[in-house]
Structure 1
Amino acid sequence: MMKTFNTMSLEKETFTPINEKTINMYVCGPTVYNYIHIGNARSAIAFDTIRRYFEYRGYEVNYVSNFTDVDDKMIAAASEQGITVPELADKYIDAFNEDTAPLNIKPATVRPRATEHIPEIIEFVEDLIKKGYAYESEGDVYFRAKKFKGYGILAHQDLAEMESNAAGRLDDGELARKEDPMDFAVWKGENGDGAIAWNSPWGKGRPGWHIECSVMSTKYLGNHLDIHGGGIDLAFPHHTNEIAQTEAHTGEKFVEKWLHNGFVTVGDENEKMSKSLGNFTTVHELLQQIDDPMVLRFFMATTQYRRPIAYSQKNMDLAARNLERIRTGYRNLQFRLGSAVAGSDADIEAKAQEKVDAFIEAMDDDFNAQNAMTAVYELIELANLYSQAEEVKTDTVNFVLKQIKDLMNVFGVDGLEQAPLLDADVDALIKERDAARETSNFARSDEIRDELASRGIILEDTPQGTRWRRA
């Protein structure tokens, strides 16, 4: 029985899809005014992993994640760079796609952009006004937060405290335009900068931030979603406001389960990584510094999604070692296919299945990645032991390899296999080994021999030099 932690109830709840075998899932995407930092990547990887696990369990997942391609930050960034807002959006959407591909983040079923849905947004806002939930004021349109029963419940905050905080963030002009400090913008009138605006019944303007996700999620997934996800910082105000305006519009429950991932922290103070704090590392920069993007993917995917991740070189190095441990175990067993005999070993397959069952049990418990990885490491230990057996069976080797590959695919980690070495590569390693032996560096010599053996290369040391052949 699968359970997920629901931010709405602050409890683990049994997860049952609205439709038996299909899951409708919406995850808030980035505002595209800069390269994504690893905090943004954490959210993308966390929900990609959840999606992959659902698919592993046999569900079809309709996965929608948006691009916010118009807002105040984008207008400011476009002005600084001397380009238009759409040009800025195109630039960083392309960068997002380029930076997430090496991390093996699957493309969304639909990746909508706010600016492609202006007519639907205007229609949505008109309906909120008609129903008395929203009102126009000097070209802006605001949602009456307190009119919506249960406003703020997702944030688990005191309404009076939220009201006080809201009032403190407003300038005198906006405060005067609002009926109540808690009210939030669903449409913003043009402020005279001429950056980007659309015609509307309330004059030229653009959508508020929250309204776009309500419109796009319901357009592509219907009024009632199985899962809505995003970073925990989005629970208030973004997701809180989404609930209010969407349910006011549809008259239906918006989301069954609210899932929020934890922060990425940096430094001795475990400070949240964010663009506003200026303590972020972009994925674009990081990918130029690391040899293997799968290490970053593995590092983030194998931490339970609600837990904070402490980003450091030490933790990245540990992830690299653990990933290599898995790859080595896989390749050790893969190498034995060359000498395997027909048939199967029922006992080994049963033990492997026990590890797979333990993996499923862990992931069914709110995607408990750490416990799931314990099962993976135990499966790797089994693979290593079997690879050392005097005789191995083809069916069993393939069975264990498939289980390892399938489980690692849940975490989005591929590249377990090694491509065959080219002759020139083998010759270069043998030359390096000869040099190591001449300087009595026998540890490196043995390491090279073992590496070649693991990749199907057999060495023969003769008085005339080292010969090699493929197993």
Structure 2
Amino acid sequence: MTIRLTNTKTRRKEPFKPIDRENVQMYVCGPTVYDRAHLGNARPAIVFDVLFRLLREVYGPDHVTYVRNFTDVDDKIIARADETGRDIGQITAETTQWYLDDMAAVGVMEPTHMPRATDYIPQMVAMIEGLVKDGHAYAAEGHVLFAVDSWKDSYGKLSGRSVDDMIAGARVEVAPYKRNPMDFVLWKPSTGDQPGWDSPWGRGRPGWHIECSAMAKALLGDTFDIHGGGNDLMFPHHENEIAQSCCANHTDRMANVWLHNEMLQVEGKKMSKSLGNFFTVRDLLDQGVPGEVIRFVMLSTHYRKPMDWTEKKREEAEKTLRKWYAQVSEALDNAEPYENVVQALEDDLNTAGAIAELHQLSLAGDTPSLRSSLRLLGFLDNGIPEWAAVPQVDLFPYVSLLTKARETAMETKDFAEVDRLKTLLTEAGVEVRMSRAGVDLIPDAGFDPSKLEGILS
């Protein structure tokens, strides 16, 4: 089956055809590093991590290049330095490591490349120079701005809006040096106490949008396969990336496929500090919520639908993972991912469908396929996590006891003893499964071996 992805630019689900099967390329916009990653920041990291894993599964681990950047020069970072009196370099180094640690905790693999914007200033300056030379940008009062009118017929195709509509509906910076309200900053002047670099337009720093265009070109080339991010970046960030990249590289596209994940809610409401429902990934981890549980809840909703984080979902996710980890704890790690799980992911990254297939594998007792399929979805990278470890208790005597009780009950038609044993096992945290094939006992969340004492006597 071919991977099919919903391309934001065409509004269609399309077969994915890489430019080069030997080097499939993906770029995803990463964080601006000035604080802890909030829960919403984790969604694109997890979504595109699953896509990275799927591409590696289909094309081979050595044939996929994934770039996710760090924005380490930005007005928010400067503001944080002013607030705290700390050095900008210290802030960005610290918060970058925070991000890496928190994403690792939720099972996100490190991409092939993680460029920092400040390492690519010369490439940004060169790209801006080319845009000015070709008439797509102009200098004004120490700034350099992209001239939207120079690419007006194509600007807005990603978000599906005309320039006039965008002007009417967008918050655009009003500045006397702009020729058009929609023109956006490529380079801005820096004062003496702000980070800055020498350029043909004076000492300054790059605008936000040019960063990704320069880094993507340097690491992936003029055109590549997939560009992803949250749908809040579609306009203006991704729209501006396309405009400046196509004009600078003399191409008709930046990426062949554009993917955008929907936003996150908490208990049905938009996450915000004013509502008191704003929290970071680290907040949850410090409260004892396992990273695998955060990942599971995220993947339980399709990436193109709003994801609602609820306490109920968290509890159910932890219970499910405990059960599955107990099932696969002794399974050999030599099976291929279950075909139906792979097919669900190939169908526009349907992680919710993939999880439904995992439930079926669990019910069928196919533990090797369950284990390998969990790994494909980003679980078990480091084995069974400590929080889900089940006490090693030999349950075979209890299986034998319940099997004999059931055989007797089938003859006498009196199931009281079977029901009694099932109740005792369930109270001890053991899931009881009875079928024609026999009896299975699976330690569940909260399994307490001490509660089994006396059952055999």
* 8 Å CA contact 1:69, 1:89 repeated in 2: yes
> C-alpha separation between the residues in 2 aligned to 1:449 and 1:27?
43
Provide, for residues 137-164 of structure 1, a one-character-per-residue CA deviation record: whole Å limited to 9, x for no partner. Answer: 0100000112113101101123212123
Query: How far, CA to CA, are the matches of 2:35 and 2:292 in structure 1?
Result: 23
Distance 1:185 1:46, change over 3 A: same
* Residue aligning to 2:179: 179
The 5 A counterparts of 1:369-448 are 369-383=351-365, 400-414=366-380, 417=384, 443=424, 447=428
Q: Which amino acid aligns with 1:209?
A: W
Structure 1 residue 65 and structure 2 residue 68: aligned? yes
Equivalent residue number for residue 323 of structure 1: 321
Partner letter of residue 314 of structure 1? K
1:129 shift after superposition: 0.4
One-letter amino acid of the structure 1 residue matched with residue 424 of structure 2:
A
Cα-to-partner distance string for 1:290-336 (whole Å, 9 max, x where unaligned): 242211111113322212110111111121122223223324x64xx
Task: Give the drift of 1:279.
Answer: 4.5
Q: Which residue of 2 aligns with 1:77?
A: 80
Q: Partner of 1:32: helix, strand, or coil?
A: coil
- What is the CA–CA distance in structure 2 between the aligned matches of 1:462 and 1:54, rounded to whole Å? 49
Separation in 1, partners of 2:125, 2:218: 14
Q: Structure 2 regions of 5+ residues with no counterpart?
A: 394-422, 433-440, 444-448
What is the match of residue 5 of structure 1? 6
Paired residues of 1:329 and 1:381 also in contact (CA < 8 A): no
For the residue of structure 2 that corresponds to 1:381, the secondary structure is: helix
| Counterpart secondary structure, 2:64 | strand
Unaligned residue ranges in structure 1 (runs of 5+): 338-351, 384-399, 427-441
The 2-side partners of 1:311 and 1:449 are apart by: 28
1:29-44 counterparts in 2 under 5 A?
A: 29-44=30-45
Which residue does the alignment assign to 2:295?
A: 297
Quote the residue 1:280 is aligned against.
278
- Percent identical pairs in the alignment equals 36
Supply the AA of the counterpart residue of 2:160: H
Aligned to 1:360: 342
Question: Aligned residue pairs: how many?
Answer: 408
Shift in alpha-carbon separation, 1:416–1:22, aligned structure 2, 3 A: same
Task: Flag the 1:444–1:377 CA change in 2: closer, same or farther, 3 A.
Answer: closer
Give the distance between the partners of 2:201 and 2:430, measured in 1 at CA. 75
Going by fraction, where is helix more abundant, 1 or 2? 1
Question: Which is worse superposed, 97-106 or 402-411?
Answer: 402-411
Taking a change above 3 Å as real, the CA distance of residues 444 and 462 of structure 1, as seen in their structure-2 partners, is closer
Q: Distance in 2 between matches of 1:329 and 1:444?
A: 17
Moved more, 302-311 or 321-330: 321-330
The residue that corresponds to 1:130 in the other structure is 133
SS of residue paired to 1:26: strand
Q: CA, structure 1 residues 362+425, in 2 after alignment: closer, same or farther (shift >3 Å)?
A: closer
Aligned pairs for 1:178-327 (under 5 A) are 178-190=178-190, 192=191, 194-252=193-251, 253-268=253-268, 270-271=269-270, 273=271, 279-327=277-325
Aligned partner of 1:436 in structure 2 is none
CA distance in 1, matches of 2:206, 2:78: 13
Structure 1 counterpart SS, 2:226: strand
Q: Please give the alpha-carbon distance, in whole angstroms, between the structure 1 residues aligned to 2:139 and 2:353.
A: 52
Distance in structure 2 (CA, Å) of the matches to 1:209 and 1:330: 46
Supply the distance in 1 between the matched residues of 2:206 and 2:109 (Cα, whole angstroms). Answer: 28
Distance in 2, matches of 1:64 and 1:407, equals 25
Residue among 168, 171, 174 paired with 1:164:
168
* Superposed CA RMSD: 3.3
TM-score (norm 1): 0.79
Structure 1 pair 218/279, CA: closer, same or farther in 2 (3 Å)?
A: farther
Instruction: Return the alpha-carbon distance in structure 2 between the equivalents of residues 266 and 189 of structure 1.
Output: 39
Residue 360 of structure 1 and its aligned partner are, at CA, apart by: 2.5
CA-to-partner distance for each residue in 1:416-453, whole Å, 9 max, x for gaps?
6478x99x987xxxxxxxxxxxxxxx8379627889x8
Change (3 A) 1:43 1:281: same
2:90 paired with 1:50: no
Q: Which moved more, 1:320-329 or 1:197-206?
A: 320-329
Mapped pair 1:108 → 2:111: yes
TM-score, normalised with respect to structure 2:
0.81
